[in-house]
Amino acid sequence: MVQAGVVAKLCVALRSEQCGVRTKEKAHEVLKLHSRVWRSSPCLSPKILALYPS
């Protein structure tokens, strides 16, 4: 999902004024559910990972 750009799209949905509350809640849930797996992905830069220490 990281390689396909899904994470970036979910983050955009969270910040968008055009997305409804329910959409933002679902995006937040998906990000939380998969965060541990994505932290070990080589697609995420060390700069971004440093923002979210484990």
Q: Supply the pLDDT for residue 3.
A: 62
Residues 10/25, Cβ–Cβ less than 8 Å? no
pLDDT of residue 44: 74
Closest CA to 23 of 34, 38, 35, 12: 12
pTM: 0.66
Q: CA end-to-end span of the chain, whole Å?
A: 20
Residue 54: pLDDT band by 50, 70, 90 thresholds?
low
- pLDDT tens digits, one per residue of 1-53: 656 678 888 888 889 999 999 999 999 999 889 888 877 878 777 777 777 66
